[in-house]
Each structure stands twice: as C-alpha cells, then as structure tokens.
Structure 1
C-alpha cells in the first residue's frame, strides 16, 4: 500500500509508491509534499499527475527540481491548473510553472521502475483526468474522478458530468471488485463498494 500525504487548502492527497526496483514514484503533488519527501530523504524518479488542477500540482515544480520526471495526460497549461479562476475567487493560489516531460495522451500503458501501470483517460472533472491502475497490486489511483460515495465535481471549466459518469462506468467499474481506489481527496474505497453503493454511478 502507498504512503499518503494530505496537504494544501482543500486537503489533497498525494501518494508515494515504492517500485520493484527500489525507487519511488509519486502520484500528484499537493502543497507541502516536497518538504515531506525531503524530510524522509526521498527523491522520486517520477511524478504522475492525475490531472493538473492547482491543488494537485502546487508542488510539482519543487518535486521536479529534485529529479523526478513529470508525466501527465496533457502539457502544462494555466487553463488546466485553473489558478487564475481560483485567484478570482479570492484564494491566493500560486502554482510555480513546471514542464510535463512525458505526455501520456493516447497511451494505455506505462512502465516505471518495474511497475506496469494501466492508463485510463476519464474526462469530466477535468479534460486531462487520467487514472493509474496497478493491476498486480490491485490499486487504482483515481485523482478526482471517483471518491468514496461520490464523484468529482463537473462544474469547473472543461467539466462534464455525463462524460465523467460514462467514463467511470465504462473504464473503472470494469476493474475487479476488490481493486482499492486511492482518490485525490478523502478516504480510500473499492471498486466493488462504489459499484454497489455510489449514488452517482452505482448499478
């Protein structure tokens, strides 16, 4: 199971995963996670971004500066980070720019450090939302697509609830029921629990 760090204004989860080759990869980079990694003496080889909303990438540049390669579905853009929109709400958000070194758009698999990772593009919360499935470990890192008893909000720029629900049903609910879902906010859940009881997308 991964180590979880939760930080930033909206309590965003970032996950640290040890690879079979003895390195680490990070899923998402909420505010404060770079200092958390530094305190542990860990330099991840990769940073995987489930999407690029500001709260998931506030420390992306700092993590990249330690040598991590940044992976995301699409190139960095302030339209994806939403920082200008959020600042207009009165929140003093600053997202240091970073570079996505490997764009995942159109791909279905990824291998890092001996880990085989399945990719599923599930837009609706954000146009660039992608999930990372570690089938051998029975783990899904879903970002803000699917939560325990809920789904990601679809009222932000680029959001579409129909796309989100269709993607969850067609790409995530097809996974084994005991797959553990590690979301971008809140507690973990399982595919089976959400298939059975999620009021937004349950069968």
Structure 2
C-alpha cells in the first residue's frame, strides 16, 4: 500500500492518502489536507470518514466540490461534528455543511479502486465511529477508537467508555497481531502491540 500521512488542524489530526493507479482514497479530512494534496497534484476519488467530529471533516466540503465521493456512517449533522461545542471551547470552528454520497453498510465490504475494505462500527468515542480494515494489506484505519497505548476519549457528547472498550476488544483486537494500525492522532502501532501493552485494554 502506497500510503502518505498529513497531519493538521487545531488538534493535529491525521489524514491518510492511499495512492492507487485506479484512483486515490483519503481517510479523514483535517484542515489543510486539500492544499497539501494540491501541492502533490492529487485529487482523491473517495473520502472515507472514520467519524464526523469537527477535526476530521474540516476539508470535506472542499473535497466534495472537487468531485470526491464522501463515505460515512451517517449524514452530516452538527450534533456529530461538535462544531458548536468546539466554538464554546474557544476554537474558531466553522464546518461548511457537506453531502455524504454513500452511507456505509457495516455488514457489506466496501470495494473501492481495487481495494476490499471491511468495516466495523465501534461507537463510544462518537456514535458514528467506523474503522476501515484492509485485510489483504494488513492495515487498519482506527480513527479515534484505538491509539498507540491509548483509546479515544469518551467524555464528549455521545461518548460511552464501556461501549468503546468492548468494541475495541471484540472487533479490533481480534484482528491479526501484525495488523498495522493508523489512528486519527499520534503514531501508528500494531494490533499485537496494543494487545500486550495498552493500559486501557
């Protein structure tokens, strides 16, 4: 897998660009990712949203205007983006409303640009949290569910700690130990490392 990392926005959110001959896929859309891709001369065909908290969707509307298809578990909603809450915390957040072209069906693999992607709904950080597992490549995009030696926070609106930990244990830690995990913030890890050393699990 030819994978590039962009990190941007107020809380240093990761966006991942998967480059493929038949078209490029972007996982999450933090602020600045469109300008970064334009410097590379790339426009993705598809955007996969792990969830819709403001820091993961700031560039989604711009990507949609460029012709990218937006894939998410739910339609756009300010209750999911937490943009109003972010403004109350002092962040000058203004999410431009966007259209979700394809609502994900968790029990159906997603087939895009030659990849077969397995989905898991892992709520607890956000009600719409989804992970994207590429079994042939041994790669998991975990969003804000599972981090290197940590898990997603669950004190935000819609958060549920026991639900999150149960979902991680049943749906993510059961993947092969050598699966590479690319989270929404911070460095990458593997399922095996988190099985052994994550203090929250």
TM range (shorter): over 0.9
> What's the counterpart of residue 43 of structure 1?
43
> What's the counterpart of residue 15 of structure 2?
14
Residue pairs, 1:54-203, within 5 angstroms? 54-201=54-201
CA distance in 2, matches of 1:105, 1:124: 19
CA distance in 1, matches of 2:65, 2:155: 33
CA distance in 2, matches of 1:68, 1:57: 13
Tell me the alpha carbon deviations over residues 42-87 of structure 1, each in whole angstroms, 9 at most, x when there is no partner. Answer: 1101000000000000001111111110000111100000000110
Q: How many residues align?
A: 200
- Alignment of 1:28 with 2:28, yes or no, is yes
Question: SS of the residue aligned with 2:64?
Answer: helix
Structure 1 unaligned residues grouped into runs of 5+: none
Tell me the alpha carbon deviations over residues 7-37 of structure 1, each in whole angstroms, 9 at most, x when there is no partner. Answer: 0010000000023x43100000000001011
TM-score (norm 1): 0.96
Question: SS of the residue aligned with 1:29?
Answer: coil
TM-score (norm 2): 0.97
CA distance in 2, matches of 1:97, 1:58: 10
Report deviation, 1:107: 3.4
Report deviation, 1:105: 4.3
Question: SS of the residue aligned with 2:195?
Answer: helix
Report deviation, 1:94: 1.1
Structure 2 unaligned residues grouped into runs of 5+: none
Query: In terms of mean alpha carbon deviation, does 100-109 or 38-47 score higher?
Result: 100-109
Q: Which runs of 4+ in 1 moved over 6 A?
A: none
8 Å contact kept, 1:148–1:198: yes
